[in-house]
Structure 1
Amino acid sequence: MVSRIAQCLILGVLLFIPVAHAELPGNFTEREHRILKSLSLAALGPVPPSPSNRVADDDRAVNMGRALFFDKNLSVDGSLSCATCHQPEKAFTDGKPLAEGIDRTGRNTPTLYGAAYLDWLYWDGRRDTLWSQALIPFEAPSEMGSSRVGVVRRVLSDPDYQENYRSLFGTPPEFDWESLPDHAAPIGDTVMQNAWHRLRRGEQRAINTVFANIGKALDAFQRTLAPPETRFDRFVSALNTETTAPIAVLATDQELRGMKLYMDDQRTQCLRCHNGPMFSNGGFHNIGTGKFSGEGMDFGRVFGLQAVLMDEFNCLGIYSDAEPDQCEALGHVSQDPHQALHGAFKTPSLRYLEKSKPYFHDGRFSSLEEVIRFYQTPPDQGRNRIHELQAMDLNTEEIVALVAFLKMLN
């Protein structure tokens, strides 16, 4: 897999090297043709390895992870599963501004399509692997509200899960379930935390090991959620092979005009963050949407970075199957205190926008037109409103064209 740094360098070549402006099918220049190819799913490549999860590509783990993903009994009251917020028919999102579990959360639900290609999970990048990310909702009070003891108890008391677990990870630890509390975790309410700290260290380690392995099975399933082909991908394929007239794939002339606007770095700047086959550079950017006071405060990456470094389930932790030199993303993360991380959030994919709306980390916009108009008139800069955006100058027809192109990604 090409590294994020290499992708950025490649994009720089695509955008800024001088090229002969020969016209290609669809009136595209050679530069535009190269950019279109880089945005197509054909450029995505195979799912990258997951060195921290030795069962990541084991079919048995996929099957176990699929069952876990849809199992409501893993929540505290038996009413919620991972699929409650990540619904397959909605591109593994939920269609709500903010995710809702036991209570409403503070963030919008991102799609799981292509999640295996991400270096960082969550809007603030607080986890560095899919399996460590999968563990958070179980214990989050506003999501599934359970605990690692409760989840491990449920899994190891089920004969099918027991058999799956044994085939993948070996014989599970023996627990005296009668003496263990129903719920215990180092996070959560005071009752759960006190119950956790009363456990012996060996019991805590054994519970954590099984809990991590449950996350690894979920990881294996989510790695199979390949991004579906869109009409845009079919257009690029036709442009490359010329077996089908590319123009026949377009629904309107607006789509072609919007496509060219998207690639025009002087007019829209879209490609600076939304590049590559997933239309995301996977990085963190401040576009003036952080909230630094009052209800619903959200500082973004600045706290997410600290969280992933302290996470006991990260790639460098004792529950990981990776060697230290295999944790490339975590091993090379910059901890420079001068980074502009306050209010920075991960760049989302632009694929499947019709199913994954509303938009932004807090679900503040319900339409693509609203999103584009936000970029036209970014928030005023100030002490608490420093951001990266430069205002775009698009007229109404151009906005309509850009939206038409983005809808080709559904």
Structure 2
Amino acid sequence: MDEINPSNLIAVAVAMVIAAGIPALLPRLPLPAVVLEIVLGAVVGPQVLGLVHPGARLNFLADFLGLGMLFLMAGFETDPKVLRGRPIRNALFGWAMTAVIAFGAAMLLNMLGLASAPLYTGLALTTTTIGTLLPMLRDSGLLAPPYGPMVLAAGAIGEVGPVIALSLIQAKDRAPEQALIMIVFAALAAGAVVLAQRASRSSFEGIVTRTMTTSSQLPVRLAMCALILLGVLSEQLQIEVVVGAFIAGALTRAALERQHDEAMKARLDGAGSAFLIPIFFVTSGVRLDVASLVSSPIALTMAAVYALLMLVARGAPALLLYGADLSLRQRVGLALHSGTQLPLVVAITAIAVRHGAMSSAQGAVLVGGGILSTILFPQLAKLFLEAEPAPQPVKARGRWAFWV
């Protein structure tokens, strides 16, 4: 493994601070930190200023710890309380519709010669980034019923569904015994999550309560240990690290009593959102094929096309399935929030490019579409939802009524 280049670390650290500082200094600027991290990574990268040239150590920080922490947070944020009842039924049915639309669109683009790797391309179009949206939803008071449970369930499935689909996509290219290993690993992990939720936790609860606020931070260390253990195990079994990381997050949440969720999330945010996850996004910007994205009108057009497909794939189910639960404006808002996709798009394209399944040029175009979705869709959703007269469900003409 190569030696760490000090200039790499300094440039990445400064980019991380600037990306967090701009929204803090300019709160009215509709640019989430994740967008700025990718853009600033591209600026300090080899294609612009040339301050950062990623080597093996930086790639390890980004692809194992940073990307792993992103999916650990996604697993931890998958709240079992929202995975029940009508919201989850709508979310599951909606994601199935999304998958049909997304993979169909990707296959069509592939036949037209406009995209390769249709499975990874389609998968990137099926995501929702609830972690990026949560602060905006919370600040706008949109987490209350009826809208809150619906958007939280849609967001949760928009993270869980792609992780499962990613495992299936990779399993199809493996030998039968490797695919069987992946299936057994997933089944054992699901069983472990269920057991952790149902197990007697009286002794462990006391330890968590005593150490949550002390310098030892035992619960956080256990979560980091689970991330590393399951990440390494995933690599040894030739399973993508993000699968093990997601399971580590789900196990962490399942092992804790509900009263610790917010405190634990704050501490994971401190390690993840302040340090490890920004390293992944800045490094992704460093590796972004900027030249292919900005030098071709076709590439820029395709970025806009991908943003539109993200909205259609995730938004159409919101309009079609929620007529009995939400007003038209709320359904439009849900469609726009569901179509906000950047972080997981970056993760999926990084995996596809690393495995040689997707060109760096197409990966850059997909990330460009994700950037557009993250800049535009939450702001448009805000306009629609601010004009909503009252947060009450409406009686529509039926499950499929989207014109009322």
TM-score by length of 2: 0.26
User: When you count helix as a share of all residues, which structure comes out higher?
Assistant: 2
TM-score by length of 1: 0.26
